[in-house]
Structure 1
Amino acid sequence: MKKLIALILAATLSLPLVAQVKSRLNNNWEFLRQDLGGIWEAVRPYTKGNPEEVPLWQNVTLPHCFNALDGVDPDVNYYQGPGWYRTQLDVKNPYKDGRTVLHFEGAGQKTEVYVHTTRVTSHTGGYDEWTADITDAIEAFKKTEAFTKQFKGKVPVSIRCDNSRDLEMIPSDLSDFNIYGGLYRYVNLVYTPALSIEKLFAFAEVDKEGKAGNLSVNARLYNPLKLVNATITVVIRDPQDKEIKNQQVDYKSTEDDVALLSFKVTKPLLWSPEKPQLYTVQATIKSASGEFTQTEKVGFRNFEFVEKGPFMLNGKRLLLRGTHRHEDHAGVAAAMTEDMMRSEMKLMKEMGVNFIRLGHYQQSRVILDLCDSLGILVWEEIPWCRGGLGGKTYQDQAKRMLTNMIEQHYNHPAVIIWGLGNENDWPNDFPGFDKEKIRTFMKELNDLSHKLDRSRSTAIRRCDFCADIVDVYSPSIWAGWYRGIYTEYKQASLDEFNKVKRFLHVEWGGDSHARRHSENPDKALSIVKTGGGADERAGDASLFGGAARVSKDGDWSESYICNLIDWHLKEQETMPWLTGTAQWPFKDFSTPVRPDNPIPYMNQKGVVERDLTKKEAFYVFQSYWTTQPMAHIYGHSWPIRWGDAGEQKMVKVYSNCDEAELFVNGKSYGTRKRNSQDFPASGLRWQVEYAAGNNHLKVVAKKGKVAVTDEIDQAYQVEKWSKPAKMVLEKVSQEGDKVTIRVKLKDARNVDCLDAVNWVEFGLTGDGQMIDDQGTSSGSRKVQVYNGYAIISIRLNKGKSVASVKSQGMETVMLIL
C-alpha cells in the first residue's frame, strides 16, 4: 500500500500547470493585521525601518492566514476584521497584447485587489477560486512617474482581505469552525495570450458494465478583446499516456463557449478507489496573439445510489468508508502548504479511506487532485451552514459559490456529490426562521446543481424538513456521543434509512483528548438514557447542563472512542443496505464555539491530532479498512496503567490479520483468531496480570505467511492516590535547541494521580519561546491533563528561561532552563 501511494503521489507531482505561463507568488509579501486609512497608505513613499513610519508591516510568505495562532489562543477571541497584503511584481508578459492575471485559489472572506491606487476588482466568498485581470491597471500605472522613480519599474499590488462578521454572508459565524481570513491558499501570477482558455469541461461517462464510454469536451474561452480566427487542438491520452484522440477545431467567432469534441471510447479503463485510472485532456489554442495550452485529468466511472439500497460503483456494491476534512492545521490554521495537504491525504489513504466529505466548503484544488489520484470519492459542498436564510445578497452568494464549485471541480472523477448545505435547521442569525423559505431556496439550489451537472447527486446533512428535496440525505445520528449509547447505532440507522429514498450517514464518532486513557471507559453509558433517539440536539455540544450524555458526562478518553468506533465498524459489516458512512472528522480542528474543551477552542473528534499525530482510533479504522497486514497494541501513548495487585487487565490488539499471539514480559498469553463480530478488538484481546513496575508487551500477528509485530512498554501502578495536591515540573527530553517539559500531578503523599483531569497553564519568561497555540495536546499552554500529566515544548534560542505551570488550588511551580 505504501509503495502504491508513493507512486501515485509522484505521478501527481508531475502534473502540468493549469496555465501556459504561471508562477506561485509565495515570497516577498508584507502583511498588516488591521485596516488602512486608504490605499495610499500601502503605496506612499516610505523608508523601511523609519520609526515614524506607521503602521508597521511584517514580512510573510504565502499561503498565510490572519489566524494562524489566535484561532486556538485560550485567552482571546480570534481576530475577525480586515488585513492587508502588499508586494511588488516584476511583470514580464511574453505575449503581444497578452493578459496579466492574478489567480486566487481561495482567500477569506471578502477580498479587494489594487494596482497602485487603482481598485481592480473584489470577490466575496472565502473558498472558491477567482481571478483578477490586472492588465489594464498595469498599463495605466506604467505611464506614471511613480512606476519609474518610486517603484523602479515594478508594479505595486495590494490586497485587502476581510473576515469580519457579516450576517449576509455565508458561512454563518454560528458554524462549528473558524471563518478564517487571509490569503490562505496559493496566489498565482498568470500570463496568457489575448485569446486563451478559461475553463475546460470534460465529461466522461460509461455504462454500468464498463464497456461503452463517451468523452465530450467543451471550452470556455477568455477573449476580452473579442478576437476571431483561431484553431483549437484537443489531444486525449489514456492512463498509459497513449494518444487515443487528436482533433482540431476552427474557431471563427467571438462566442465564449465552444464544443470541441465528443467521441466513443470502447472499454475505457475505469476509475475506482483501487485503481484510480486517469485520462489526460489537453487543449491548445493558437491565434495571432499566441499559443495557450490547458490540461485536465478525467476518469470513467459509473456510480449509483440505489433507491432503498446500497451504493454501486462500476456495477458492483461499494461500501463507502469515509471521513471528513477541514482546511486547518497546527501553527498555520487554513494556510496549509501543498506538502501538508499531501501528508494528510496520504494518511487518510493509509487508514483505508475510500470516501471523504469536504466540510463545509469548497476546498483547495490540491485536495481534489489528490482525491483523483489516490482514489478517494468526494462529497463537496457550499458553505451554507447554520443560521437560517439571509436575503438577496446572501442567496446570490450561495448560488454563485455553487456555480463556481461545480464548474471549477467539474472534471474531477472523484466527485460524486454536490452538497447544498449543512445543518440548515439551525436558527438564530435572523429574527425569523421560515422553514418554507428555506425549502424554496433549497429547491433552487438543487435545480441549479442539476442544471450545471446532470451526472452528480445532490445531498444535505441534518435538515429533516428538506430531506425530500435532494437526491441523497444524511440525518443526524450520534449514537453513544450526543445521544443514546453506541449499541443503538444499527437500529437508529435503519430507522432513518426507512424514512428517505437514498440514505448516507455522514458525521459520527465523538471527541477524545489525545493521550488520555481509561481503565473503565464505558462507565458513562450507565447514566445515559436509551431508546430516545441518537440525534444531535441544540446544546448537546456544551459541557454544561441538559440531559446525561457521553459528550458531557464521559471521560473523553481515547479508550472510549476506540470502543465506539470499533462497534460502529463491526456493525457496518452486517448492514447490506448501507451505502456507507463518514466519521467526523479525520483531524482535530479549531472552532470558536468550544472554549471549554480539554484543548480550548478545539473540536477533538479527529483520529489524528491537528499536527497529524495519530491517535489510537486511527488503527481501529485501519484494522477494518486495509488489507496490508498490520497490528497495533492499544496504548502506545498510555505510559502507566493502574489497578490492584494481581488484577487482570484487558490488552487489546487492533489488526487485520487472521490471528495474533500476545507476549507479556516474554510469556505467551496464547493465540487468538480474528473475528470482526467479536467485540471488542475483533476477538484479539487478552486478560493479563501486569507486574508492578515496568512491563513489556509484544504481539506477533499473521496473515497467511506474512507476520507483523508491535511492541510497547507500560508501567503498572498499584499504589492508590487521593486528590491532586501538588505539581512536579521537569525536563523530559532535549533535541537540539528544543526541550520538552512535563508537569505531573501528585497527591499529598507524592503518588501520581493517574486519573486527574485538572486544568494546567504553562508560562515562560526569558530568552526562550514556548511552542504554543498549536491546538494539540502537547502544544497548548492551557490544557486539561491526560492521566495526570501534560507536556509542552520550548525553543531555548540559545539562552536561559524560566518555565512555570499553575493550576487552581495548587502552588505554582517553576523550572530553570
Structure 2
Amino acid sequence: MIRSLLVSGLMICLLLPAAHAQQSQRLTQSWEFLREDLGSVWEAVRPVAEGSPESVPLWEKVSLPHCFNARDGVDPDVNYYEGPGWYRTVLELKNPYPQGRTLLHFEGAGQKTDVYIFTTRVGHHTGGYDEWTVDITDAVQQFLQSADAKRYNGKVPLEIRCSNARDVEMIPSDMSDFNVYGGLYRYLNLVYTPALSFEQLHIQAQVDAQGKTGAVQLQAAFRNPLHTSQATLDINVLDPQQKIVQHWTQPLTLQDSIQVLQPFTIKKPLLWSPAQPQLYTVQARLKSSGGEAVWSGHFGFRNFEFVTHGPFMLNGKRLLLQGTHRHEDGAGVAAALTDDMIRREMQLIKDMGANFIRLGHYQQSPLVLQLCDSLGILVWEEIPWCRGGLGGEVYKAQARRMLTNMITQHYNHPAVILWGLGNENDWPGDFPEFDKQKIHAFMSELNTLAHTLDSTRKTTIRRCDFCKDIVDVYSPSIWAGWYRGRYTEYREETLKAIASVPHFFHAEWGADSHQGRHAEYPEEAVKKVATGKGADERTGDFALTGGSARASKDGDWSETYACNLIDWHLKEQETIPQLTGSAYWIFKDFSTPLRPENPVPYVNQKGVVGRDLTPKEAYYVFQSYWTTQPMAHIYGHGWPIRWGKEGEEKMIWVYSNCPEAELFVNGKSYGVKKRNSQDFPAAGLRWQLPLHKGSYQVKVVARNGKQTVADEITFNYQSDPWSKPAQLLLEKTVAGNDTVTVKVKLADAQKMICLDAKDYISFSIAGSGTLIDDQGTAGGSRRVQLVNGQAQISIRLNKGQSVVGATVQGVPDAFINL
C-alpha cells in the first residue's frame, strides 16, 4: 500500500524519489548553518543591518550534505552535540509547468525536522532515516505575493530546523551503540512536477524456483492535488540488455490516487543473483492536460527460500550468505556521506567478496539500495527500534510509520530479502517499566504490518529471545571469542542455535582491532577466558571493566587476534551445510557514544576497514575465503618491526584463495604450501622461520593454474629487549601540500622502542597550524592508544609555523617545531 500521512496537521508525502521526478536538482551550495536554537524562525529572516549587534548569532557557510556532528562525534574531550540546528538559503524557482508543483524531497534528515518558507511552516518529519517530501507550491505563491518578497528580488527564503535532541519517545534509543546524528546529512532535492505526477510505482516481480516464468504486477500512486480526472499512461519494460519486452498504453480515469495496472508475464526471465545481478527497467510516462510526468525504476526476478533448519536457497540452489554490516558514518563527515564516498565503500564491500549486507540499524541512503541491486548484494534492512524498551503511542506511531516508509520506499529493490523489525529489544533502560509481554505484542503488530505491506519477503530481528517466535528468521547473539567464550566454540554454539529456531541467520560476530597494532602472541591474553559458558553477548559485556574474563576486555585488540578469530569463523562456516549464512560486525569502524575508553575514543573498532576506508589486515582474510579473482596478501603490511628472541621461530603467513603459494625470504625460496581451508591458521599457507636481528624482504607468489599473483612486504626484526618507557621520540615527514605528519615513538632510556606499549598519547599544537584530528582513526585522533609503541598525526600548516606537543603519562613531554 502506498499512502500519504497527515502529520501534525501538515501533509507529508512519503515517496517522490528525485531520480523519478520530471525535473530535479540537488540543493548542495549556498547554505548557512547555526548549531543552536533560535527564538523563532523570524530570527533567521528578519532584516538586520550588517555589523549590527542584532546580527548575532553568527551563521557558518556550509554545503550539503552536512552533519552537526562531523567532528564532535569522535572528539575525545566532549559529548557529541544533541540539540537543534538551523539551515537557511534562498531558492530561485522556475517551475516550467503550468499549475505545476514545486517540491522538496529529503533523502533523510536527522532527527526531527521543520521546514519553513519565510516564516510559514510547510512541513514536519520525525525520523532520521526515511525519505519524505514537502509540497511548497502554495506557500511559495503566498510569499511572492507578500510585501516581504520585495527585499528578496524574486527569490524565496527557505529555513530548516533539524534536531537530534534526546527524546525517549523517539527511535532509535540514545542507549544505542551508535550516534544519533543531526543535520541535513543526506541530499535535499528541489523537484518540479506537472500538476499530475507519479508519487511511486510499485513493481511486484515473482518467479518460480526453476525460473521458467516471471510474473509482474504494477501498482501506481499519483500526486494529484488539482484532482485531474483523465490521463494516459504509457509503459515500457526493458530487459537487462535494454531491449523492450513489454509495451502498452492505457487511458486512466483517476477516481483515487492508486491504480493497479494490468499484470504481465515474461518467459524464461534473466534471473537476479549476486553473481549476475540482472536488472529489468520500467519506464512510465503519464500524460495529462498539465504536462507529461515520467518515472523510471528497476526490478529483478529472483526466488529465495530459508529452508527449515536448513540453508538459504536462491533461484533453486544453495547460496551461503557471506555478509557484513554498514553504518552511515565516515571520517570527517559523520553521517554526511557523499555519493562518491558511498560508491567507494559499497565497491570495497563487493570486492571483499560479500554477497549480503545488513543495514544497521536503520534504513539508509537510497543510493545504498541502488548499489546493492546493481552490484549484487542481498539486503537485510531494518527500522531503528533499537534498545531501551518500549515507549508510548508517539513512540509506537513512529515505529509503524518508519516500517511503512521503509517497505513502501524500498519495495522494488530485488536485493532486499529481509525486513528487520528491531534490534536488541531485550536491552532495557529508557523507561521505568520493561514489560516483555508488551514488547512481544508490539513486535507481533509490526510483524503483521510488514507482511500486510509486503507478502513476498521475510521478517527478522536480532537478539531478543522472547520475540524469536514471531519473525520468519531469527538471529541470536553469538560472539564466540570476543564477548563470551573462545572462538573455537563457534561451531557448537551455531549448531545449537540452528536447531533452536525454524529459520536461523547469524548477524553480528567479530572482534575490535586497533588499526596498526600487531601481536607476536595474540592468544596469550585469552587463555583465562572460560569455555562452556555460552557465547552470547550480555548487557554490559561491551564495557572494558567488570564481569568475567573475555577477549573484549582482556585481549590485546590487535589486528592479529582479529584475523585469527575471523579465519576460524570462516573456515567453520564452510563446513556447516545447514547454515544459511552470517554477517560480520562491521565493515567500517564507526562512532559511538558508549565507548569513550576505546583505543580510538568513541569509536567501535570492529571494522574490516578503518573509518576512513583504509583496509585492515582482516579485509584480506575475507577475500581469501569469499572471492574468486586470484589474490594473495602477506600478513603485516603495517607491521614494520617484529620482535622476539634471537633465532626464535616466527610464523610468516599468507591469505590467498589460490591452490598453492611459494614464499621467498631475502630472495631464498622456503617452499610451496598447498591451500586447505580447514588447516588453521591461514588455510595452511604459513611458514615457520628462525628470525635474527636485521631486515627482511618477504615475497609470496601464489598460483591458480596459469594465473599468478604476488605480494611483498619488508620488516625489521628486533631481538634486543627494551626496558621501561623513558622518552618520546618525534620526527616529521612531508605528507602533502602544506601538510606534514608527525610520528612518535615511545622509547626506553637507550632509545629502544617499547614495542608492546599501549599507552594513551595526547597531541597538542600552538601556532598557525591545525591538527587533522577528530577523524575517528588511529592516525587521526589527538588522543589515541599507541600501536606497538608508536603513533602519528597529520598537521595542516596553513602556511605558517607551529609547535606540536606529545604527552604520555609517566614520561617527559616532547615537542617538535614545524
> Which interval holds the TM-score relative to the shorter structure?
over 0.9
* Match of residue 128 from structure 1: 130
**Contact 1:34/1:81 (<8 A) preserved:** yes
User: Could you tell me how far apart the structure 2 residues matched to 1:430 and 1:268 are?
Assistant: 52
Residue of structure 1 in register with 2:45 after alignment: 43
**1:111 and 2:109 aligned:** no
- Cα-to-partner distance string for 1:71-116 (whole Å, 9 max, x where unaligned): 0000000000000000100011111111100000000000000000
Which amino acid letter does the alignment assign opposite residue 228 of structure 2?
Answer: L
**SS, match of residue 812 in structure 2:** strand
Match of 1:766 in 2: 767
Contact 2:484-2:534 within 8 A present in 1 as well: yes
From the superposition, tell whether residues 49 and 261 of structure 1 become closer, same or farther in structure 2 (CA, over 3 Å).
farther
Q: Deviations over 1:594-637 (max 9, x none)?
A: 00000000000000000000000000000000010100000000
Determine helix, strand or coil for the equivalent of 2:372.
Answer: helix
Contact 2:18 2:191 in 1 (8 A): no
Aligned residue identity for 1:632? H
Normalising by structure 2, we get a TM-score of 0.97
Cα separation, partners in 2 of 1:81 and 1:749, compared to 1, 3 Å: same
Report the counterpart of residue 379 of structure 1 in structure 2.
Answer: 380
Kept in 2, the 8 Å contact 1:176–1:591? The answer is yes
Amino acid of the structure 2 residue aligned with 1:282? Q
Whether 1:62 and 2:60 are equivalent positions in the alignment is no
Which residue in the other structure is 2:270 paired with? 269
List per-residue Cα deviations over 1:127-158 (Å, max 9, x = no partner).
0000110000000001112212x111100000
Q: Any unmatched runs of 5+ in structure 2?
A: 1-16
2:588 alignment partner in structure 1 = 587
Aligned to 1:211: 212
CA distance, structure 2, for counterparts of residue 665 and residue 179 of structure 1: 51
User: Partner of 1:7 in structure 2?
Assistant: none
Aligned equivalent of 1:636: 637
Aligned positions, number: 802
Summarize the alignment of residues 448-463 of structure 1 with structure 2, pairs less than 5 Å apart.
448-463=449-464
Partner of residue 79, structure 2: 77
> How far 1:765 sits from its partner (Å)?
1.0
Report how far residue 808 of structure 1 moved. Answer: 1.0
Residues 357-756 of structure 1 mapped to structure 2, 5 A cutoff: 357-756=358-757
Contact 2:742 2:792 in 1 (8 A): yes
Deviations 1:530-568 (Å, cap 9, x if unpaired)? 000000011100001110000000000000000000000
- Cα distance in 1 for partners of 2:691, 2:277 equals 47
- Rate the CA distance shift 1:572–1:137 in 2: closer, same or farther, 3 A: same
Match of 2:343 in 1: 342
Which residue of the partner structure matches residue 10 of structure 1?
Answer: none
Mapped partners of 1:121, 1:363: distance in 2: 21
TM-score normalised by length of structure 1: 0.97
Alignment of 1:128-277 (within 5 A): 128-148=130-150, 150-277=151-278
* 2:322 is aligned with 1:321: yes
Deviations 1:223-257 (A, max 9, x none): 11111110111110000000011112211133110
Distance 1:625 1:51 in 2: 63
How far is the alpha carbon of 1:726 from its aligned partner? 1.4
Amino acid aligned to 2:725: P
SS in 2 for 1:624: helix
Distance 2:769 2:347 in 1: 34
State the alpha-carbon separation in 2 of the partners of residues 155 and 625 from structure 1.
53
Q: Which amino acid aligns with 1:242?
A: K
The answer to whether the 8 Å contact 1:330/1:610 transfers is yes
Aligned pairs for 1:291-306 (under 5 A) are 291-306=292-307
* Conserved 8 A contact 1:249-1:260: no
Residue type of the partner of 1:329? G
Match of 1:8 in 2: none
Residue 807 of structure 1 and its aligned partner are, at CA, apart by 1.2
CA distance in 2, matches of 1:351, 1:91: 45
Q: 1:649-678 deviations in whole A, cap 9, x for unaligned?
A: 100100001111111111111110000000
1:371-425 CA-partner distances (Å, limit 9, x unpaired): 0000000000000000000000000000000000000000000000000000000
CA deviation digits over 1:50-72, x for unaligned, max 9?
56511100110000000000000
Question: Is 2:286 aligned against 1:285?
Answer: yes
Q: Deviations over 1:657-709 (max 9, x none)?
A: 11111111111111100000000000000011223121111001101101111
Kindly indicate whether the alpha-carbon contact (under 8 Å) linking 1:506 and 1:581 is maintained by their aligned counterparts in 2: yes
Q: 1:102–1:134: 8 Å Cα contact kept in structure 2? A: yes
* SS of residue matched to 1:426: strand
Residues 227 and 254 of structure 1 are in contact (CA less than 8 Å); yes or no, is this contact kept in structure 2? no
Instruction: Report deviation, 1:210.
Output: 0.5
CA apart distance, 1:283: 1.3
Whole-angstrom distance in 2 between the partners of 1:209 and 1:56: 64
Instruction: Give structure 1 stretches of 5+ with no counterpart.
Output: 1-14
Whole-angstrom CA distance in 1 between matches of 2:692 and 2:698:
12
Rounded to whole Å, the distance in 1 between the matches of 2:85 and 2:684 is: 56
**In structure 2, distance between residues paired with 1:596 and 1:341:** 29
SS in structure 2 at match of 1:810: coil
Amino acid at match of 1:549: R
Q: Separation in 2 of the partners of 1:810 and 1:708?
A: 46
In the other structure, the counterpart of 1:29 is: 31
Matched, 1:807 2:784: no
- 1:797 shift after superposition: 1.2
Counterpart code for 2:143: F
- 2:98 is aligned to 96
- The 3-state SS of whatever aligns with 1:447 is helix
- Give, in whole Å, the separation in 1 of the partners of 2:94 and 2:135: 15
User: Does structure 2 retain, via aligned residues, the 8 Å contact 1:651–1:685?
Assistant: yes
CA distance in 1, matches of 2:267, 2:52: 70
Partner of 2:8: none
Give the letter for the 2:444 counterpart.
Answer: K
Contact 2:18–2:105 (Cα < 8 Å) also in 1: no
CA shift for structure 1 position 121: 1.3
More deviation in 542-551 or 255-264? Answer: 255-264
The offset of 1:17, in angstroms, is: 2.6
Letter in 1 for 2:209: K
Structure 1 residue 747: Cα displacement: 1.2
